[in-house]
A and B are shown apart, each in its own frame.
Chain A
């Protein structure tokens, strides 16, 4: 049976996933309708649509479909492992795993539907640009950093 804790976890995963989807749909639709890649420009933040068919930092981007499917398969395997971690963990640790799971699922969905992942958040100072990322990347990065921090803090205790 699904208990209250599991219901909360599923609800939270859905909320994260839906926020990620809405943000991506808005950017893609804006790009399709107005044919402008840049949605918003400011001194430190640009919203600009960039398609990434690789993994982190645009790495492993290949025109080979076999390689692309291999990477997608690996991501699916990690999602299944994350699901297993969510079931096993509790409290804050579970929340961090849920964040990573939702982000990974959001990016995996795009890889299956669009055959590449839309990135659009471009942080920069003058001409110094950080990597362009999306909301799912924020969730994954925060989740992983929190888990690493938690590991260190538990070791010190």
Chain B
């Protein structure tokens, strides 16, 4: 009987294929990674068009400003200045009249 039971257990152990959960959960190191490998970085080099400097952006902006000036704004500001000057003259004349009295 013991022989038979031993045979059954042997059959069980050899034929079943259950896996250990630890095998899947553990952080196992990969075999193909060489931990002592030092990767050399290539030396820094200038790009082929390094000396061809681009035109500064400010110059471009100024050019566009010269081309498109909005005169309406300038006229408006000058009108506002004239209005202020008129108001000052009226105030002065009123003050002069009051002082005379």
Type the 1/0 row for B4-38, where 1 means its CB is closer than 8 Å to any CB of A. 11001101111111111101100000000000000
Knowing A58-B23, A148-B8, the reply to whether A52 touches B15 (Cβ < 8 A) is no
Knowing A50-B24, A78-B11, A129-B21, the reply to whether A148 touches B5 (Cβ < 8 A) is yes
Q: Tell me if B61 counts as interface (CB < 8 A to partner A).
A: no
Question: Binding site of B, secondary structure by majority: helix, strand, loop or mixed?
Answer: helix
Asked if residues B13 and A56 are in contact (CB atoms below 8 Å), the reply is: yes
Residues of chain B contacted by A98 (CB below 8 angstroms):
none
Q: Tell me if B85 counts as interface (CB < 8 A to partner A).
A: no
Residues of chain B contacted by A56 (CB below 8 angstroms):
12-14, 16-18
Q: Please report the C-alpha to C-alpha distance between residue A79 and residue B11 in the assembled complex, in whole angstroms.
A: 9
Q: Tell me if A66 counts as interface (CB < 8 A to partner B).
A: no
Q: At the interface with chain B, which of A1-9, A10-18, A27-35, A136-144?
A: A136-144
Q: Please report the C-alpha to C-alpha distance between residue A132 and residue B14 in the assembled complex, in whole angstroms.
A: 16
Is the interface on chain A under 10, 10 to 19, 20 to 34, or 35 or more residues?
35 or more
Knowing A144-B8, A144-B9, the reply to whether A107 touches B16 (Cβ < 8 A) is yes
Q: Tell me if A47 counts as interface (CB < 8 A to partner B).
A: no
Residues of chain A contacted by B97 (CB below 8 angstroms):
none
Partner of B24, one of A82, A100, A132, A148: A132
Among A72-122, those with CB < 8 Å from B are 74-75, 78-79, 82, 100, 103-104, 107-108, 110, 117, 119, 122
Type the 1/0 row for A35-69, where 1 means its CB is closer than 8 Å to any CB of B. 00000000000001011101111110000000000
Knowing A50-B24, A144-B8, the reply to whether A134 touches B17 (Cβ < 8 A) is yes
Knowing A58-B23, A151-B1, A155-B1, the reply to whether A132 touches B8 (Cβ < 8 A) is no
Residues of chain A contacted by B23 (CB below 8 angstroms):
50, 58
Give 7 CB contacts A-B under 8 Å.
A58-B19, A104-B15, A107-B16, A110-B17, A129-B21, A137-B16, A148-B8
Other A-B pairs, 14, CB within 8 Å; known A57-B19, A133-B16: A52-B17, A54-B17, A55-B15, A103-B16, A107-B15, A108-B15, A119-B18, A130-B21, A134-B18, A136-B16, A140-B15, A144-B8, A147-B8, A151-B4
